Structure 1
Amino acid sequence: MKQVLLDKIKSRQAVLGVVGLGYVGLPLAVEKAKAGYKTIGFDIQTQKVAMVNAGENYIGDIVPEDLKDVVNSGKLKATVNYSLIKDVDCVAICVPTPLDQYQQPDVSYVVNSSKEIAKYLHPGMLVILESTTYPGTTEEVVKPILEETGLKVGQDFYLAFSPERVDPGNKFYNTKNTPKVVGGITPDCTEVAAAMYENILEGNVYRVSSPAVAEMEKIFENIFRNINIGLANEMAILCDKMKIDVWEVIDAAKTKPYGFMAFYPGPGVGGHCIPIDPFYLTWKAREYNYHTRLIETAGEINNYMPEFVLERSMKILNRFGKAMQGAKILLLGVTYKQDIDDVRTSPALDVITCLESQGADLVYHDPFVSKFTYKGKEYTSLELTEQTLNKADLVILTTMHSGFDYEWIARHAKMVFDTKNAFKEVTARANIERL
């Protein structure tokens, strides 16, 4: 059975499926189709399905022409009909894994997707979970659901975990060329999963001994970043109290050619990974009676940064005899990282909450987000003009978009609070203050 599937993968006769057509799933589906496989994308949102089938792209990291080409050639189609999983040889689960209101993992999307796949699971089929989650999910959650069919993993079907490594807006690394980690329930599961990715991707495929190792390594990647960002943020807070420029400190430290990796402070952390994934492990660690102190402390520091931005902003305004109550604040950038259109868990949203809680009259400009709704309130991006800048008592830079003309902004703003060191090349700095 394994050889039959391997032969189908090698000859590109295998039909591939992707459950979830978001930031992870749709780029993966496009790459599978570009590699010559008939690919079916599954999603519960009819609007997404319709857009895919019309060749209309809604993910920034996909080349629109690539999507149109694979749709027009018949290599990719999308559907809300999960019964078509019966025709699929290999299916990847790429659904969200958010936190609930108690900061605990919400794997309901993974559970529901697994149940849908189980209805149409057939001998010789490969199932791969790509959604970031806590160690043990593949074996403790997905495997039992699939085996309720009477089919046995490693004997009748194959099951593996291969974490997504999507970095929206990255100009060099994407789904196709980023190395892949694969861990199967059994060695055969690992072999067939790795073979599939090796026939699709340019990046190396690294095999590990189990899904739990692959799950843990993905969590570790993001915890590493979260903790080091937390350290940079704590240094920024302390340097502010000591009247030391933290950015100059970091620039000096990174001249060391070994033993140091530069991380930078900011208004907080955002996106679909760094603010969320560490809490998956802290939750799982309680099962083993272990308290992940370092991880949680880093989270506390990072979560405090929007409030720190508020405190610094209030001090800046006070120097000009202006209270935050009624102050006109212009926020530059609301996305969680530069040059993307994603506001998910953006620290700018928490900055907005902090500023408005103190009575600020707040507006924003972001070339990638014309409008958004947050906590029931709709915000609309203002055109960035001399008048817009002149009217603001304080301009706060929260996202370092490459398209901003920082010299021009500084020239026309009364005062700039730069939380990302975006204005570092601006020479006339009398009205610029850095985090």
Structure 2
Amino acid sequence: MSDLFATLPQNASSNAPAADAPLADRLRPANLGEIIGQDHLTGPEGAIGRMVAAGKLSSMILWGPPGTGKTSMARLLGEATGMRFVAISAVFSGVADLKKAFAEAEKMAGAGQRTLLFVDEIHRFNRAQQDGFLPFVERGTVVLVGATTENPSFELNAALLSRSQVLILRRLDEAALGELIARAEALTGRTLPLTDDARAALIASADGDGRFLLNQVETLLAVKIDTPLDPAGLAALLHRRMPVYDKDREGHYNLISALHKAMRGSDPQASLYYLARMLVAGEEPLYVLRRITRFASEDIGMADPQALVQCLAAKDAYAFLGSPEGELAIVQACLYCATAPKSNAIYAAQKAAWKSARATGSLMPPPNILNAPTKLMKDIGYGKGYAYDHDQAEGFSGANYWPEEMDSQRFYQPVERGYEARIAERMRVWEDLRKGKG
């Protein structure tokens, strides 16, 4: 199961781990107060702390990254409230397992024993299976504690969410991970053979995952090392944990959103960081470039028309060079967009124009700008009075181009930044000429 500490056998939470059990198992907390890095939940003012103090649990969803203590928290909740603890995994369990668990819970409820049903990876159950929990949760047959690394808003039924509290576990910070190492050293009576810099590098390599860190610590303690390792020596011995990143999950959308907003905020350094986060984690480079290209029109537009050109040039360069050489062109496009003057005037104009087009239906353009390829069309007035702009002194006729049934509209309103400021001035000149000719 995906958690910091090994899950105990069902209904056997008092069994102590064997002496040769994995370090993470031997270090599992004995009570809620020993859970590291989640004081906002387990402390006296936290949601779990308050429920335990009141002696009454409600169903809940524990949402957090891997290795942050979800399984341990659920197990200790059962112990703290005297409830029967039953654990199942959505990865390995099916409908038959659920029916058996509910039947046993109903039988125990008749004997006065309440059941805490812990469901690891609950998001892996399909919608119909999730609906199967509802009657048992509503009747109080079980107190459901689900654990997930995925955003419950996307992965869990609304009906199930409405009957549960969503509690968010935090990624373990540097202090929490340092405390884990200290506990491991105290338990084993040994000090990690690392320099201070290597110790900091070990903590950073865990990327907030306590279980991963303890596995690395166990490896270090099992290997004979005569001289403390520096960061380079540590890297040679251990493999760095790959960043948590699922291309079709929330992390994917969080990072692309962060990249977009950093570019919009004209912060090239943060923009480059989020671009690197995605590409280093294995994101498809052309997906990122497509989003940057959209940004060039949505957030820069005519304030710097070259932004779109840069993005399309980056596409051609990447197609020509491939990866990793072509990724430099994507970096160039990203930094160009982040440092360009910003305007969403084109984006706003598109929305306004689309809205007007839907509202006005099939209004005919004014007769003077209608095409007249036949005599009949000329006879009924198509093209009559059309003013050819190039024949005018200013190259501007000031004619009306709007349907006769509607007033002229102003969709595109350029800002006074970058090249768009020159466009705004040009439009003001045309407006004055139009008024004069009118």
Asked if these proteins are the same fold (TM beyond 0.5), I'd say no
Higher strand proportion (structure 1 or 2): 1
Higher helix proportion (structure 1 or 2): 2
TM-score band (shorter)?
A: under 0.3
| Alignment TM-score, normalising by the size of structure 1 | 0.25
Higher Cα Rg: structure 1 or 2? 2
